[in-house]
A and B are shown apart, each in its own frame.
Chain A
Amino acid sequence: MKDLRHLYFFEKLLEDANNDLVREAKDSGLKCIASVCENAPEPLLNLPGTFSVRLRAPRTGSIDMGTYYLTSFLCEYTRALLERAIEGGFNFADCIISPDGCSMLNRCIENMELLRTVRKDGFFYEYMEIPMKADDNGLALYKLQCENHILKPLSRNFGIDVSDEAIRKSVAEHNKVCRLIREIGDYRKAADPRITGYEFHIITLATYVAPKSLILPYLEETASELKSREPDPKSHFRARVVLVGSEIDDVDMVRLIEDSGAYVCADRFCYGSLPGRDEIRLTDDEDALTQICRQYMYRGQCPRYMNQAKILGRREYVQSLCREYSADGVIYEQMKFCDPWAYERMVGTKVLRDEAGYPVLSIDRPYAVGSSGQIRTRVQAFVESVEIKKIQGGAR
C-alpha cells in the first residue's frame, strides 16, 4: 500500500514523551497534565487551558535506577517510567494525576514524588481511588474522586475552568478524536483492509500522548486519505488476530506480530482504541461529570474490576470483537510481573479457547519487545497452527 502521508509524523511523535505537539502546546501556555492509567477520565484532563499526556518511556535502554528503587520484581513499564523521570524526561509536565490503579504504578509515581524528580514550582501529585466494582456506590466514589483529585486541584493550582460547560466542551473535542479513530479503525473489519494494524496502533497511540486539538487536523487528513487508499492486491497476512491484554505503548509490538504473519484487526489493550476510543455520549438531563464517570466505569475492561458481571463481561467483550472484526484467533498478552493481567490472561485464554473455540496464543512480554526472537517464534508458530486449522477445516 502507499505510505500514509502523516505516518512518519505520528511515529516521530512517539519517539519522545516531550514531543513536538506537546512542546507547541506548552509554548502556547497550556498546562500539561500527566497521567499513567486509562482510569483517569481523559476529558477531565483536557479542559480549556490544559492537555493530557499518558506517560511513556520511548526508546528505553537501561533501567538500572528504576530497578534499584522498584526492584526487578516490578513490571518494566513502571521501572522505565521511573528511570525516565529520574533522568528528567517528564519535566515538561505540570502535575501528575495517578489513579491507584495497580500497586506497581502507584509505587512508581510515589517514588517519583519521594525522589522529587520534577523540581518545579507548583508541580503537584494527586492520587485517585478508583472503584473496583461497577455499581452505584462505585459511581459515587468515582465522581467524588474526580472532583477532589482532578477538578479541584486544577482549579486551585492553575485557575482552570472546571464548570459543566467546560467539561462538555472537552468531551466534544474528545469525541471528535474518538470518531476519527473509530472511522480509521473500522477499515480493519474488511477482508482486505486498507490500513495495517501497525499503522493504526501508531495513530491511536499518538492520540494518547499529544494534545487533542493539535493532533485533530492530522487525524482528519489521515481519515480522508484512507477513503481512497487502495489495499494491496494480495495480502501477506495469513491470519487475523485480536490483541488483548495489558499496557502496550511499544511501537514494535504490533509490528512484530504483523511481521510474523498475523494481522492485528482489533486492539483491546490499555493504549488501544477498544474501548479507549469509544465516544462519550452526554445528555442534558444530568451533569457531564457523572455521565463521564458512569461511562468510564461501565465500559472499562480493566481486570481490577472484581464483580462477576464485569469479569464475565470482559471475556464476552473479547468474543464480540472476534466476531465483529472477523478474527481467526486471539493473542492474550501481559507485561511480565503484571498481577492483574496474569490472572486475566490465564482465565481469558481458557474461556476463549475452550468455551468460545478460538485459537489463543498466551504470552508474557517485556516492556520494549524490540525484535524478540522468542515472541516472534511463538507468533509464527501460532499463525501456522491457525492456518493448519483452516486447511483442515477445524473449528475456526
Chain B
Amino acid sequence: MGKKVGSEPLGSFYTKGKVRRRREWRGFKDTFYDYTRWLRIMGILATFIIKPRNIKAFFRYRWMANYLAVPMMVDRHTQGLRGSYLRIAHTEFDLVVADVAKLLDNLFKADRRIGNDTKLSAKAVLLDENEMTTFMMGFPTLKGLSRETPAVYVSVLLNQMAACHYIDVAQEFGLAGDVCPMPEAEAGVSIDDDFPVLGACAVQCNTTCDGSLMGNGVISRRLELEDGVPCFQLASPLRHREDDVQEYAAQEIRNCIAFIEEKTGAKWDWDYYFECAKRINESTRHRAEWLEMSKTDYPQVFGSNLALYTETNYMAICGKDPAFVEADRKVSQLAEKAYRNKEMAVKEYRHRAIVWGVQSHFYMDFLIWLQNCWGIVPLTDMLSMVSTKIISEDDKEQAIYDMAWLTENMIMRNRTHGGYKVLLDELWEFCEQFRADTVILWEHMSCKALVGMHGQFEEKAREKGIHLIWVTHDLFDPRVVSRQAIRDQINRYMRTVFREEPLDPSLEVLPDEHSW
C-alpha cells in the first residue's frame, strides 16, 4: 500500500455488504487530497440536508434514500487513481455532485408537495432526462429542471438496485418485461406517483429510442392530464445525417421555444444564447483535445473520467453553467501536464480499447475496473463520441439549426439512430484513429437499435482483426445480469483468448452483489 499505482490489491476492500472495508491509502499527498474532497462532498450533502424541506423529501420520495451513497459513488470512480487522474476525477465528479444537489434543491423547493414555492414553479420548465437542453440556452430567467435525472438516472449510479422497485411497478401495471428498463423505470416512478410535481410546462422528446418515446406517453398522462402541467413533445428526426430532415428539426426547435414563451411568459434572449454557445464551443474544444491525447500512447482523460462528465456537460449543461467550462480548463491543464510527464493511470497498458454500445448503468465504474484489473485502457466510449461541430456564436438563423443539430445528436441516439453507418462503420474508423486493438461491446439486451447490428459487428470485427468482447447486461436491472456476470464475460475472454493473467487478481471476482 502506498503512493505507487497498483500498490495494493483493490479487491481486498470489498465486503459482502453495501460499503467497503476502508478507504484506499494512496500515499500521504494523494490520500490527503482525496480526503479533503470527500469532506467537501460531505459538506455538499450536509448543506443540502439541513433544509427541512429536503428532509421531508427524503421521507416522501422512495428514491431519495439512494443519495446516502453519494460519497461511495465517487469513491468507486476513483479506485486506484493517483496524481493527475485522481484530480481530474474529483474535478469532474465533485462538480456533477454539486450540480445534482442544486437540481434536487430546486425541485423540492418548487414541488407542490414539499416547498410549494409557486414563484419558482412558474419559472420551471421540466425537461426530459434524455434531452439536449439547447432550447433553454436563451432563457436566463427560467430554470430547466429534470425530474427523471435524480429520480432514476442518478439513483442507479448511486445504488445498483435503485430502479428495481420502479421496474416492478411498471410490470405489475402491465408493461412487458422485455422493454428497456430505463424508460420502464421512469414510467414506474410516474405510475407510483413518485415524481415531484411542479413546473409551468414540460418538454419531452423522442431522442433515445422507441421505449423512451413511449414511456413519455405514460409520464405525460399524469403530468398533463392529472397535474395540469402542459407538455410539448419535441420530435427530433431519426435519420439525423440526412439533409432533408434538418428543416423539420429546426422548426421543432422554433415551435418548442414558442411553446415555452407562451407557457412561462419569458422571452428568448439571444445574447444569453450566444454566451452559452461560446461555452459549448470551448467545452467541445477541450473534449476534442482530450480525445486527441487518447490517440497517443499516453491518454489522460478516458474511461470514467470521460464518460459521465461528457454526458452531463454535453447534454444537461449545454453551456448554461460557467462552472463546467472552468472545470474543463482545469482538467485540460492537469491532462496536459500529465501528458508531458508521460503519466499512466495503471502500471501497464496492455490493450487499447474502444468501448461501444450502451453502458451498464448500474455498473458505471466498470471502466475503471477494466483498467485496474486487466490493463485495458478504455480510450473512449460510444456515449462520449458526440458532436464536435463548432456552433455559430453570432448568427441567429444558423443558431436554430445548431440547436436542432445538437438535439438530433444527443448522447447515444447520435449512434443508435441515423442509419447503420454511425453505429457500425464509424466504430471501425475510431478503432483506426485511436489505434485500438479491442472493442468492448456493451450488449444492452433491451436496446433494439443496438442489438439489431449484432451479427454485423461480429463479422466486421473478424474481418478487421479486432478483438470484440461482448458484455451483455440489462442497463438498470442487476437482477438479470449481475456485476460479477459482467466481469466474468471479460475475465473469460482475457483468460481463454488472450491467455493473460490479471494485473490485479484481487479484482477478478468481487463480492459486490449487495453493494451500493
Smallest CB gap from A79: residue in B:
B452
Rounded to whole angstroms, the CA-CA distance of A131 and B454 in the bound complex is 28
| Residue A384 at the chain B interface, CB threshold 8 Å | no
| Residue A343 at the chain B interface, CB threshold 8 Å | yes
Name which of A73, A102, A140, A334 has the most chain B CB atoms within 10 A of its CB. A73
| Residue B233 at the chain A interface, CB threshold 8 Å | yes
- Over the window 131-145 of chain A, the binary record of Cβ atoms lying under 8 Å from chain B Cβ atoms (1 yes, 0 no) is 111000110110011
Which residues of A (105-157) have their CB < 8 Å from a CB of B?
106-108, 110-111, 114, 127, 129, 131-133, 137-138, 140-141, 144-145, 148
Question: A107–B248 contact, CB under 8 A?
Answer: no
Question: B211–A339 contact, CB under 8 A?
Answer: yes
- State the Cβ distance, A142 to closest chain B Cβ, in Å: 9
Question: B214–A340 contact, CB under 8 A?
Answer: yes
Instruction: Please tell me which one of the listed residues B180, B220, B251, B424 contacts residue A308 in the complex, with CB atoms under 8 A apart.
Output: B220
- Over the window 225-237 of chain B, the binary record of Cβ atoms lying under 8 Å from chain A Cβ atoms (1 yes, 0 no) is 0000001010101
Rounded to whole angstroms, the CA-CA distance of A334 and B416 in the bound complex is 23
**Interfacial chain A residues near B235, Cβ < 8 Å:** 131-133, 138, 306
Question: B210–A102 contact, CB under 8 A?
Answer: yes
Question: B210–A339 contact, CB under 8 A?
Answer: yes
Rounded to whole angstroms, the CA-CA distance of A40 and B128 in the bound complex is 30
| Residue A349 at the chain B interface, CB threshold 8 Å | yes
Smallest CB gap from B444: residue in A:
A73
Question: B244–A145 contact, CB under 8 A?
Answer: yes
Question: B214–A104 contact, CB under 8 A?
Answer: no
Question: B449–A107 contact, CB under 8 A?
Answer: yes
Among the stretches A64-72, A172-180, A232-240, A285-293, the one at the interface with B is A64-72
Smallest CB gap from B454: residue in A:
A71
| Residue B3 at the chain A interface, CB threshold 8 Å | no
Among the stretches B52-60, B73-81, B170-178, the one at the interface with A is B170-178
Smallest CB gap from A135: residue in B:
B255
Which residues of A (328-370) have their CB < 8 Å from a CB of B?
334, 336-337, 339-340, 342-347, 349-350, 362, 364
Question: A308–B231 contact, CB under 8 A?
Answer: yes
Smallest CB gap from B451: residue in A:
A71
| Residue B393 at the chain A interface, CB threshold 8 Å | no
Rounded to whole angstroms, the CA-CA distance of A141 and B238 in the bound complex is 12
Question: A111–B455 contact, CB under 8 A?
Answer: yes
Question: A141–B245 contact, CB under 8 A?
Answer: yes
**Interfacial chain B residues near A78, Cβ < 8 Å:** 452
- Over the window 46-72 of chain B, the binary record of Cβ atoms lying under 8 Å from chain A Cβ atoms (1 yes, 0 no) is 000000000000000000000000000
| Residue B179 at the chain A interface, CB threshold 8 Å | yes
Question: B255–A137 contact, CB under 8 A?
Answer: yes
- State the Cβ distance, B244 to closest chain A Cβ, in Å: 5
Name which of B231, B448, B456 has the most chain A CB atoms within 10 A of its CB. B448
| Residue B429 at the chain A interface, CB threshold 8 Å | no
**Interfacial chain B residues near A339, Cβ < 8 Å:** 179-180, 209-211, 214, 448
Smallest CB gap from A360: residue in B:
B174
Tell whether A343 pairs with B215 under 8 Å between CB atoms, given A74-B451, A127-B419, A308-B220. yes
Question: A342–B221 contact, CB under 8 A?
Answer: no
**Interfacial chain B residues near A371, Cβ < 8 Å:** none
- State the Cβ distance, B127 to closest chain A Cβ, in Å: 16
Rounded to whole angstroms, the CA-CA distance of A18 and B214 in the bound complex is 35
Which residues of B (192-228) have their CB < 8 Å from a CB of A?
204, 206, 209-211, 213-218, 220-221, 224
| Residue B420 at the chain A interface, CB threshold 8 Å | yes
| Residue A100 at the chain B interface, CB threshold 8 Å | yes
Rounded to whole angstroms, the CA-CA distance of A345 and B176 in the bound complex is 9
Instruction: Please tell me which one of the listed residues A69, A144, A337 contacts residue B455 in the complex, with CB atoms under 8 A apart.
Output: A69
Question: B456–A108 contact, CB under 8 A?
Answer: no
Question: B175–A346 contact, CB under 8 A?
Answer: yes
Question: A103–B214 contact, CB under 8 A?
Answer: no
Question: B213–A73 contact, CB under 8 A?
Answer: no
| Residue B463 at the chain A interface, CB threshold 8 Å | no
| Residue A376 at the chain B interface, CB threshold 8 Å | no
Which residues of B (460-495) have their CB < 8 Å from a CB of A?
none
Instruction: Please tell me which one of the listed residues A108, A140, A336, A343 contacts residue B214 in the complex, with CB atoms under 8 A apart.
Output: A343
**Interfacial chain A residues near B86, Cβ < 8 Å:** none
- State the Cβ distance, A347 to closest chain B Cβ, in Å: 6
Rounded to whole angstroms, the CA-CA distance of A74 and B179 in the bound complex is 10
**Interfacial chain A residues near B446, Cβ < 8 Å:** 73
**Interfacial chain A residues near B173, Cβ < 8 Å:** 346, 350
- State the Cβ distance, A214 to closest chain B Cβ, in Å: 34
Smallest CB gap from B204: residue in A:
A306
Question: B206–A343 contact, CB under 8 A?
Answer: no
Tell whether A306 pairs with B217 under 8 Å between CB atoms, given A70-B452, A104-B448, A334-B176. yes
- State the Cβ distance, B7 to closest chain A Cβ, in Å: 42
Q: Interface size bucket, B side?
A: 35 or more
Tell whether A137 pairs with B252 under 8 Å between CB atoms, given A100-B238, A127-B239. yes
**Interfacial chain A residues near B448, Cβ < 8 Å:** 73-74, 102-104, 107, 337, 339
- State the Cβ distance, B445 to closest chain A Cβ, in Å: 5
| Residue A169 at the chain B interface, CB threshold 8 Å | no
- State the Cβ distance, A229 to closest chain B Cβ, in Å: 40
**Interfacial chain A residues near B420, Cβ < 8 Å:** 107, 110, 114
| Residue B395 at the chain A interface, CB threshold 8 Å | no
Question: A129–B239 contact, CB under 8 A?
Answer: yes
Question: B217–A70 contact, CB under 8 A?
Answer: no
| Residue B187 at the chain A interface, CB threshold 8 Å | yes
Rounded to whole angstroms, the CA-CA distance of A185 and B238 in the bound complex is 36
Tell whether A70 pairs with B176 under 8 Å between CB atoms, given A107-B449, A306-B213, A344-B214. no
| Residue A311 at the chain B interface, CB threshold 8 Å | yes
Rounded to whole angstroms, the CA-CA distance of A110 and B216 in the bound complex is 27
Tell whether A342 pairs with B176 under 8 Å between CB atoms, given A71-B451, A306-B206, A308-B224. yes
**Interfacial chain B residues near A129, Cβ < 8 Å:** 237-239, 242, 244-245, 248
| Residue B42 at the chain A interface, CB threshold 8 Å | no
- Over the window 388-430 of chain B, the binary record of Cβ atoms lying under 8 Å from chain A Cβ atoms (1 yes, 0 no) is 0000000000000000000000000000110110001000000
Rounded to whole angstroms, the CA-CA distance of A222 and B252 in the bound complex is 47
| Residue A307 at the chain B interface, CB threshold 8 Å | yes
**Interfacial chain A residues near B210, Cβ < 8 Å:** 102-103, 304, 339-340
Question: A104–B233 contact, CB under 8 A?
Answer: no
Rounded to whole angstroms, the CA-CA distance of A78 and B245 in the bound complex is 26
Tell whether A304 pairs with B248 under 8 Å between CB atoms, given A69-B456, A74-B451, A342-B179. no
| Residue B323 at the chain A interface, CB threshold 8 Å | no
Smallest CB gap from A66: residue in B:
B455
- State the Cβ distance, A86 to closest chain B Cβ, in Å: 10
- State the Cβ distance, B43 to closest chain A Cβ, in Å: 42
Smallest CB gap from B421: residue in A:
A110
Rounded to whole angstroms, the CA-CA distance of A138 and B248 in the bound complex is 7
Which residues of B (237-263) have their CB < 8 Å from a CB of A?
237-239, 242, 244-245, 247-248, 251-252, 255
- State the Cβ distance, B326 to closest chain A Cβ, in Å: 38
Closest 6 CB pairs of A and B: A107-B452, A69-B455, A343-B214, A339-B210, A103-B449, A342-B176
A interface residues with partner B (beta carbon < 8 Å) = 68-71, 73-74, 78, 100, 102-104, 106-108, 110-111, 114, 127, 129, 131-133, 137-138, 140-141, 144-145, 148, 303-304, 306-308, 311, 334, 336-337, 339-340, 342-347, 349-350, 362, 364
B interface residues with partner A (beta carbon < 8 Å) = 170, 173-176, 178-180, 187, 204, 206, 209-211, 213-218, 220-221, 224, 231, 233, 235, 237-239, 242, 244-245, 247-248, 251-252, 255, 416-417, 419-420, 424, 443, 445-446, 448-449, 451-456
With A73-B446, A102-B448, A103-B448 already in contact, 16 other A-B pairs whose C-beta atoms are closer than 8 Å: A70-B455, A71-B445, A73-B445, A106-B238, A110-B453, A129-B238, A129-B248, A131-B248, A144-B244, A306-B206, A306-B233, A306-B235, A337-B178, A339-B210, A343-B179, A347-B217
